[in-house]
């Protein structure tokens, strides 16, 4: 059978989609190649969140095709994922040697489509149509290529996004929110745990909106009966049209449905009900989730941190900006004060909770004053980690047409300043952990130095130590001896 190489750009959702496609291909008898040069088929799973990610994938494909023309004339090439969805046929028009374009609701068709192309039954396939129930199609796992035990696994609980932040392309590439059922997700988690997985990260574009709309609500007590089931819209291709965003933002609609249906059942949001159900799985040690929306940290979720021992005390809260003026234009649905209130509640529920965030610098019209507000929120919260993005205009998004687009030099300078601040704060706080004892789950060899082992604290900090394979999958207490840049080093002396 042919061999396949998959290269992934972008977020953890994309990594997970690629893993599922790879597992589906392996189940059909395909082998996984170690490099593009050794593969019969090369698939690029693409990201559209920033222009740079799109350009990287396009350049990579053009280079590979150029080499293949001389050295591997029968090699098959495909695009999958977000850029495949938003550009569709345009990709084949631009690069006529591309054989396959698979959109974000069609990952599970990839293996069948490759069979058809390789057998010569079809020459080219472009499929970016919407498909009902596709949110439940990302379920197969590779678990480190079956060769080793995976300690940690990602489980996709939903697809799509209804938030329509004015900078973000995701609602246009991933479609409307559609959630899997709790039963379906729990069955997948149980299977993973039976195969040795100890930690599960629940994945979605905005996991805190889980179950608020879409097909997966049927088995949720809060939504029995009257929830309208929405079919995903056809997504725009080639940037010609876009669905109109809801005026009041995504989460509001869901909250109304919940309040109406919560009485007599549970006041917990569907996401917290899902956490409860996953928490009940015997043998599972740790639960994490990403990405949530700050608005989604209601009291039920904050309380879940205090109530559910398997839920790790680590939270990602993408703040995007510290300026109320910009938060409003970004359509984020919270103010600086509300954001800080959520942080305070989380810290009260779980002192020492690990906090990370996403921040955009250089959003259209961002003044020095707005940026100062972002610096000050970073100082006030003291995030353990911040992913900083220079604003990148995305087609079909309102912000791309806003006045006040800033020069690259301004974005770069603000990026540098914020990065310096975040790094200083993180270094100080990591240093404070030296000589403390932390609990880690050992995942395997350290990526940077495979002679050593690495694990993660409950607060999501990486700890490297002199261990061995026998420690993999173990939960152990380690004394921190040294702090590096976003890495802690543990004392092996207390491991025995």
* Residues near ligand SAM (CB under 6 A): 11, 49-50, 161, 167-168, 170, 205-206, 291, 318, 320, 358, 360, 389, 391-392, 394
**Contacts with 439 (C-beta within 8 Å, 6 or more apart), sequence order:** 457, 458, 475, 476, 477, 478
From first CA to last CA, the distance across the chain in angstroms is 46
State in angstroms the smallest separation of the CB of 464 from ligand SAM: 27
Sheet of 3-8, strands arranged across? 31-32, 3-8, 41-46, 76-80, 100-102, 125-127
- Which of 9, 45, 44, 41 has the alpha carbon at shortest distance from 26? 41
> How near is the Cβ of 334 to ligand SAM at its closest, in Å?
13
Closer to ligand SAM by Cβ: residue 282 or 403: 403
In whole angstroms, how close is the CB of 368 to ligand SAM at the nearest point? 19
- If the CB atoms of residues 21 and 360 are measured against ligand SAM, the closer one turns out to be 360
Place of tokens 């209601």: 298
Closer to ligand SAM at the Cβ: 30 or 167?
167
* Shortest separation between residue 206's beta carbon and ligand SAM, angstroms: 6
Query: Is the previous residue joined to 291 through a cis bond, with omega within 30 degrees of 0?
Result: yes
CB neighbour list of residue 107: distance below 8 Å, 6 or more residues apart: 17, 20, 21, 80, 81, 134, 137, 138
Distances (CA, A) of 341 to 18, 303, 312: 37, 14, 20
428, burial (CB in 10 Å: exposed 0-12, middle 13-18, buried 19+): exposed
- Of 30 and 389, the one with the shorter C-beta distance to ligand SAM is 389
Shortest spacing between CB 332 and ligand SAM, in angstroms: 10
Nearer to ligand SAM, 109 or 336 (CB): 336
Q: Which is nearer to ligand SAM, 292 or 455 (CB)?
A: 292
Would you state the structure tokens that stand for residue 117, as one six-digit string?
A: 């192309």
User: CB-hemisphere CA count at 13 Å for 9?
Assistant: 25
- Select 49 or 463, whichever has its Cβ closest to ligand SAM: 49
Helix axes 336-349, 368-381, angle to 10 degrees: 10
SS3 323: coil
Q: Report the nearest approach of ligand SAM to the CB of residue 170 (Å).
A: 5
CB of 4 to ligand SAM, least distance (A): 25
- Give the pairing of strands 385-390 and 314-316: unpaired
CB of 38 to ligand SAM, least distance (A): 30
The residue (of 49 and 130) whose beta carbon lies closer to ligand SAM is: 49
Contact 438, 477 (CB under 8 A): yes
The residue among 161 and 197 lying less far from ligand SAM, judged by its C-beta, is 161
Kindly tell me which of 130 and 169 has the beta carbon lying closer to ligand SAM. 169
Report the nearest approach of ligand SAM to the CB of residue 178 (Å).
14
Q: Which helix (H) or strand (E) holds 6?
A: strand 3-8
- Rounded CA separation 237/113 (Å): 20
Question: Smallest gap, in angstroms, from Cβ of residue 359 to ligand SAM?
Answer: 7
What SS3 string covers 28-86? CCCEECCCHHHCCEEEEEECCCCHHHHHHHHHHHHHHHHHHHHHCCCCEEEEEHHHHHH
> Between 318 and 490, whose beta carbon lies closer to ligand SAM?
318
414 HSE (CA, 13 A, CB side): 26
Residues sharing a CB contact under 8 Å with residue 376, sequence separation 6 or more, in sequence order: 322
Cβ 199 to ligand SAM, closest distance in Å? 21
């Amino acid at each position: 059978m042919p061999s396949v190489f998959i290269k992934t750009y972008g977020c953890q959702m994309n990594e997970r989609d690629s893993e599922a496609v790879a597992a589906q291909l392996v189940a059909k008898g395909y082998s996984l190649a170690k490099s593009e040069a050794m593969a019969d088929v090369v698939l690029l799973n693409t990201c559209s969140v920033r222009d740079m990610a799109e350009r990287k994938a396009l350049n990579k494909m053009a280079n590979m095709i150029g080499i293949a023309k001389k050295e591997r004339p029968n090699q098959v090439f495909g695009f999958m994922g977000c850029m495949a969805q938003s550009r569709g046929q345009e990709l084949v028009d631009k690069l006529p040697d591309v054989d396959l374009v698979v959109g974000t609701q069609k990952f599970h068709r990839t293996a069948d489509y490759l069979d058809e192309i390789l057998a010569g039954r079809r020459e080219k396939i472009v499929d970016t149509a919407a498909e009902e129930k596709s949110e439940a199609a990302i379920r197969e796992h590779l678990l480190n290529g079956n060769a080793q035990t995976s300690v940690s696994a990602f489980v996709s609980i939903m697809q799509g996004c209804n938030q329509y932040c004015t900078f973000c392309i995701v609602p246009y590439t991933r479609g409307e929110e559609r959630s899997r059922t709790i039963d379906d997700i729990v069955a997948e988690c149980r299977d993973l745990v039976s195969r040795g997985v100890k930690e599960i990260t629940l994945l979605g574009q905005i996991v805190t909106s889980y179950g608020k709309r879409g097909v997966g609500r049927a088995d949720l007590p809060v939504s029995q009966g009257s929830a309208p089931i929405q079919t995903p819209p056809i997504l725009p291709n080639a940037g010609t049209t876009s669905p109109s965003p809801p005026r009041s933002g995504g989460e509001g609609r869901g909250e109304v449905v919940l309040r109406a249906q919560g009485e007599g059942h549970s006041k917990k949001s569907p996401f917290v009900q899902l956490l409860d159900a996953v928490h009940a799985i015997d043998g599972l040690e740790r639960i994490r989730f990403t990405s949530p929306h700050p608005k989604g940290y209601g009291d039920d979720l904050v309380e879940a941190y205090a109530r559910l021992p398997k839920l790790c005390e680590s939270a990602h809260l993408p703040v995007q900006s510290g300026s109320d003026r910009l938060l409003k234009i970004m359509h984020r649905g919270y103010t600086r004060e509300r954001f800080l209130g959520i942080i305070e509640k989380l810290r009260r529920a779980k002192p020492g909770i690990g906090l990370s965030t996403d921040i955009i610098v250089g959003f259209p019209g961002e003044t020095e004053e707005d940026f100062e507000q972002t610096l000050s929120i970073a100082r006030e919260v003291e995030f353990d980690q911040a992913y900083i993005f220079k604003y990148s205009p995305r087609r079909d998004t309102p912000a791309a047409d806003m006045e006040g687009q800033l020069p690259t030099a301004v974005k770069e300078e603000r990026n540098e300043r914020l990065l310096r601040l975040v790094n200083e704060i993180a270094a100080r706080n990591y240093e404070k952990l030296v000589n403390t004892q932390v609990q880690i789950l050992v995942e395997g060899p350290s990526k940077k130095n495979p002679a050593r082992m690495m694990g993660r604290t409950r607060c999501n900090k990486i700890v490297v130590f002199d261990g061995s394979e026998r420690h993999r999958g173990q939960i152990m207490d380690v004394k921190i001896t040294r702090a590096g840049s976003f890495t802690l080093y543990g004392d092996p002396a207390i491991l025995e």
